[in-house]
A and B are shown apart, each in its own frame.
Chain A
Amino acid sequence: MWNKVIEQLKSGVETQDLEKLSLIEPLDVSPVKITLLISDESVKDLLKNKYKDKLKESLRSVFGKLPKIELVMKSNEKDNLNPKYAFENFVVGPSNQLAYAASVAVSENPAKAYNPLFIYGGVGLGKTHLLHAIGNAIKRKKPKAKVLYISSEEFTNELINSIQHKQMTQFRNKYRNLDCLLIDDIQFISKKERTEEEFFHTFNALYENQKQIVITSDKPPSEIQDIENRLKSRFSWGLIVDIQPPEFETRIAIIQKKAELFNLKLSPEIVEFIAQNISSNVREIEGALIKISAFKSIMRRPVTLSLVKTTLQDIVMRKEKMLTAENIQKTVAKHFGISVEELKSPKRNKEILIPREVAMYLTRKITKNSLPEIKAKFGVKSHATIINACKKIEKELEKNAELREKVREIEKEITDV
């Protein structure tokens, strides 16, 4: 029936209004009352003013009498929150407990505890999980709160669309009237001047109105390159917390929790095997469990250590390739700007000696190579050389922040596979 009304109405409608009117959705149509779902005020205006008489005429002609008309506005408050991410299913360990505690505090007292809250860390460590958990917790307490989760990439795309369609007012109204903005991967707005500019004003408006802002990034604000200093400084106004890769015990807890979600019963030795072989990335743990779960359900194979080993072979193989003395020598040499030959040479000048000792330290720390094996790989005469090098570097790392950071980066590059 509504289609007939629209068909009749179309003949008297101006071309530019056709699209808007065709988007009206009839919710309930009867000769007594029709309920229409409309997208915004402009459509309401068209129906109540511009085409009021024509609409009545069409309705009379189709229904034989004039039904009551009810207009319902579509809710545009999309929060993009994923309900599966909550504080309850976030596994807390020493590597993420500060970020977790700060996030809980923010969700309990938005804009009062820490504003902005800036969470940074590597991929797959739970930053996005915390953002959604904050949003979900706020919405649970205050269902009417205007919360929005958005990635900085989506923010940029939306901005471009708004500029193109001359809808900047709507864009600004949307972002500047929020109670809580959760923006993911802020590093991607670097070098995008207009986005930075718009985000700067959005930030200011929200901050001044005491609304909560939570930002995530892969680096701390000071290390995000090509981003305006005024933004960097604002990011530091509140609390900056990091999330580190989970340590062994937390990985065990994460695997157990996720296995429960996938309905997988894993023996302690399997859990341990996965935790030992996937260390840097929670997403990779999830990927491994999805793979095991697929084998279990599709091929109906019992989840044995052998199955887990074979299904994780890709990850393990990649890791094995990376965790060799040769790869460590190559990576260390690259970071210190010397060649592998130089690193392995007996030269004792500082520029060569430190990288060589760092390489020995890392080989001892992250590979399963024995001392005789390491001795052979580095071409040194005795085990004592390696043991002394490791002790020396350990001491250096305690007092030398620059070296500590460099070694952390190298280790991350080698183990983050």
Chain B
Amino acid sequence: MLITTKELKEAIQNTILSTSKEKENPLYNVLLKIKDRKLIVKSQNNITRITYTANIESEEELSILIDPQKLANILKEIKEEKVEIKKEENTVLIQAGNFKTKIKTLNPQLYPELKESTEKQEICSIEAEKVKKLIKNTIYCPDKNDIAREYTGVYFEFKDSTVKATATDHYRLINITTQNEVQIETEFIIENSGATLINRLSLEGKLKILKTENEVSIETNNINVTSKLIKGSFPDYNQILLDKNTSNVIEIDRESFKNAVKRSSTMSENREIMLNIDLQSRLLTLSSQNQEGEIAEDQVTFSNVSANDNLTTKLDSRFILDFVGQISSDTVTMIYRTSEEPVMFEASEEDFSYKYIMTPIIE
């Protein structure tokens, strides 16, 4: 049967992301089915699963369990618009123009097809770009090896026409908010690999987020991706966010701040930099020093929003750069109290607002 090469490439490129890593495992393969004029490719591992569906012209039927890596490598080299696939006993013949190859397949019966839950609740309809950004800008934070499972994923909240994503590694916490209508107010912690997968998939336009008790699904016209959820509750992070009314608040140009952090940390051997806020001169001095006593220092000006106290504190320069490097706002707001307390950064873009709190390095 003839299939559009581009369609098959896309199906494989997406589904390959959710296969098992062990070659001996049948779930290392993807299940490729053609039935009722539909191409259906399924993959799954112990955390996530993907179903890719596309309409095709062929009326023939096919069901094979195939190594997606091999198939992807082959498809990468095929420039013809269509590719012919023919199933033989334990192999599949792939032809395009004068090129042909025969690769082994497994019995599709080996593939455990899971029934999709009928009790999915639709949480909201949202732009794929928004979901990906919420994940991309939080996924660097959790520690995948944290012994408390609820901290290894990304915590999502759907409430009051907003969607929030939060993650922490105990040294810092990132919280991003975007406006979006929600159908049911809910919250969940998505598995780290589930969130990473969604971020890597080629999703476009509007998608639906649905939830069952243990899983969350993202549905578009042709991709249905499901990830397990982490059981447990995410602590009330609002409790640790600094209150502007009882803290010092200054505003800094983001680009200048980012460059100053980069430059001033060049002499640091362990990413530590010293921040010194002098309200009188309105200068934020950043500096680092190595064991040989060599120093790098830079200064940026700031606006005093409502600060009464100077500050000298030591922070992890990479943690700061992780945050200021990912946002595009003109300014960042820095909220602080004392050298021993966490420092919080806030920023706002057109559709997103960020809160990023980090603990100082105390010797």
A-side residues, CB < 8 A to B, are 290-291, 293-295, 297-301, 306, 310-311, 313-314, 317-318
Contacts and interface: CB of A to CB of B under 8 A. Distances in A.
A387 to B, nearest CB: 36
Given A300-B170, A310-B340, A294 B246 contact: no
Given A313-B246, A314-B246, A317-B246, A298 B240 contact: yes
B338 A310 contact: yes
Contact of B341 (A290, A293, A310): A310
A142 to B, nearest CB: 33
A290 B237 CA distance: 10
A293 B235 contact: yes
Given A314-B246, A317-B246, A299 B337 contact: no
Given A306-B340, A310-B337, A310-B341, A298 B237 contact: yes
Contacts of B239: 290-291, 293-295, 311
A309 to B, nearest CB: 10
B173 A298 contact: yes
B239 to A, nearest CB: 4
Contacts of A295: 239-240
A299 B342 contact: yes
B128 to A, nearest CB: 30
16 contacts: A291-B240, A293-B235, A294-B238, A294-B239, A297-B148, A297-B235, A298-B168, A298-B237, A299-B173, A299-B240, A299-B342, A306-B340, A310-B338, A314-B246, A317-B246, A318-B246
A294 B337 contact: no
A391 B235 CA distance: 50
Contacts of A294: 235-240
Given A294-B239, A299-B342, 15 more contacts: A291-B239, A294-B238, A295-B240, A298-B170, A298-B173, A298-B240, A299-B240, A306-B340, A310-B337, A310-B340, A311-B239, A313-B246, A313-B337, A314-B243, A314-B246
Interface string B162-175: 00000010110100
Contacts of A299: 170-171, 173, 240, 342, 359
Interface in B323-363: 337-338, 340-342, 359
A317 B338 CA distance: 14
Closest 9 CB pairs of A and B: A294-B239, A300-B170, A291-B239, A297-B235, A294-B235, A314-B246, A294-B240, A294-B236, A310-B341
Contacts of B236: 290, 294
User: Interface size class for chain B?
Assistant: 10 to 19
B169 to A, nearest CB: 10
A260 B341 CA distance: 26
Interface in B97-140: none
Nearest to B148: A297
Contacts of B337: 310, 313
B345 to A, nearest CB: 16
Contacts of B238: 294
Contacts of B338: 310
Nearest to A291: B239
A249 B40 CA distance: 68
Q: A291, A299, A300, A306: which has the most chain B beta carbons within 10 Å?
A: A299
A310 B336 CA distance: 12
B243 to A, nearest CB: 6
A300 B246 CA distance: 23
A202 B148 CA distance: 51
Nearest to A301: B359
Nearest to B146: A300
A41 B237 CA distance: 47
Nearest to B173: A298
A147 B66 CA distance: 62
A302 to B, nearest CB: 12
Contacts of A306: 340
Interface string B157-200: 00000000000101101000000000000000000000000000
Nearest to B168: A298
A290 B238 CA distance: 10
Nearest to B342: A299
Contacts of B359: 299, 301
Contacts of A310: 337-338, 340-341
A119 to B, nearest CB: 29
A389 B239 CA distance: 43
Contacts of A290: 236, 239
Interface in B237-259: 237-240, 243, 246
A266 to B, nearest CB: 16
A22 B61 CA distance: 39
Contacts of B240: 291, 294-295, 298-299
Contacts of B235: 293-294, 297-298
A313 B236 CA distance: 18
A299 B236 CA distance: 12
Interface string B223-241: 0000000000001111110
